[in-house]
Amino acid sequence: MSASLSYLERSKLHSNPTAKAFLELMERKKSNLSVAADLNKKAALIELADKVGPYICLLKTHIDVVEDFDQDLVDQLTALAKKHDFMIFEDRKFADIGNTVKLQYGSGIYKIASWSDITNAHMVPGEGIVQGLREVGLPLNRAMLLLAEMSSAGTLAKGDYTVKTVEVARKYKDFVVGFIAMERYADKDGDDFIYMTPGVGLDQTSDGMGQQWKHPREVVFDRGCDVIIVGRGIYGNGRDAAKEAKRYQEAGWNAYVERISK
């Protein structure tokens, strides 16, 4: 089972260069923490990325909420990624037909494929969405996650939807490198997908608006997932973002070490 291997061991099993580099980065940096930077001002996003950068393996953005987006923001974020040794994941959640997502991913205002190492998509439109995104991303050595599950109460992304999502991922393993999911699924035929889990918190269990939080150890050790995604738990309500990021980095990494030592 791939969950029992180290990130470095698993990096040798991947054909996708971004997945390989990402797993190597996690091992090198001793971090499986992704910060969800849901901020709507350029300066605030850059400041947060610089503060948490030393502790994260992945910065997750929602670039379309940034009110003063410009190319300088992209340039500064990519410079910070190089400075602090993390990757960027634009949480775009593409959900349209193949031809449309090709345009959304590769062109338009944001030109996501030009700077985001990883992106993601819903499988509601069918596997044409993967084909469209793959056509743009694969030549650029990008990688994609599929939304197999979500952390919100009442989500419809479960059951048969999840099963079919995994089936499609197995067809396109050169580009689809993992899932947004709440738990690891059974490996099959040499599978080694990367599992990223949102809704992780050390101090709360719910935000009163449908988001449900789980402890890092539950996510990484009990459920076998690889990356914990944390947002407001690190920078919300006036928290010291650097201090909280370090706390979550340690919690996530300790759970991973416990898992592979089991």
DSSP assignment of 51-110? HHGGG-SEEEE-GGG-TT--HHHHHHHHHHHHHHT-EEEEEEEE-S-HHHHHHHHHSTTT
Average pLDDT of every residue of the chain: 94
Catalytic center residues:
91, 93, 96
pLDDT tens column, 16-31: 999 999 999 999 999 9
pLDDT tens column, 141-172: 999 999 998 777 787 778 889 999 999 999 99
- Asked if residue 225 has pLDDT above 80, the reply is yes
Buried residues in 218-230 as b, exposed as e (16+ CB within 10 A) = bbbbebbbbbbbb
Burial class (CB in 10 A: 0-12, 13-18, 19+), 109: exposed
Q: Say how far apart CA 82 and CA 77 lie, in whole Å.
A: 9
Q: How confident is the model at residue 67 (pLDDT cuts 50, 70, 90)?
A: very high
DSSP β-bridge partners for residue 89: 60, 118
What is the H or E stretch that residue 230 is in? strand 227-230
Q: Say how far apart CA 81 and CA 59 lie, in whole Å.
A: 8
- Asked if residue 212 has pLDDT above 70, the reply is no
Indicate the pTM of the whole model. Answer: 0.94
- Asked if residue 244 has pLDDT above 60, the reply is yes
Q: Say how far apart CA 131 and CA 149 lie, in whole Å.
A: 21
Burial class (CB in 10 A: 0-12, 13-18, 19+), 239: middle
What is the H or E stretch that residue 174 is in? none
> In residues, how long is the chain?
262
- What is the pLDDT averaged over residues 76-83? 98
Q: 184 and 3 in contact (C-beta within 8 Å)?
A: yes
What is the Cα 186 distance to its own chain's centre? Answer: 20
The pLDDT assigned to 180 comes to 95
- Asked if residue 207 has pLDDT above 90, the reply is no
The pLDDT assigned to 109 comes to 97
- Asked if residue 1 has pLDDT above 80, the reply is no
Q: Say how far apart CA 57 and CA 233 lie, in whole Å.
A: 17
The pLDDT assigned to 188 comes to 78
pLDDT tens column, 105-140: 999 999 999 999 999 999 999 999 999 999 999 999
- Asked if residue 206 has pLDDT above 70, the reply is no
User: What are the start-end ranges of the H helices in 172-236?
Assistant: 216-217, 232-235
- Asked if residue 210 has pLDDT above 80, the reply is no
The pLDDT assigned to 211 comes to 57
Q: Say how far apart CA 21 and CA 87 lie, in whole Å.
A: 9
Residue stretches of the annotated binding site: 38, 60, 151, 211, 231-232
The pLDDT assigned to 213 comes to 79
Residue appearing with tokens 């037909």: 97
Residue stretches of the annotated binding site for substrate: 38, 60, 151, 211, 231-232
Q: How confident is the model at residue 251 (pLDDT cuts 50, 70, 90)?
A: very high
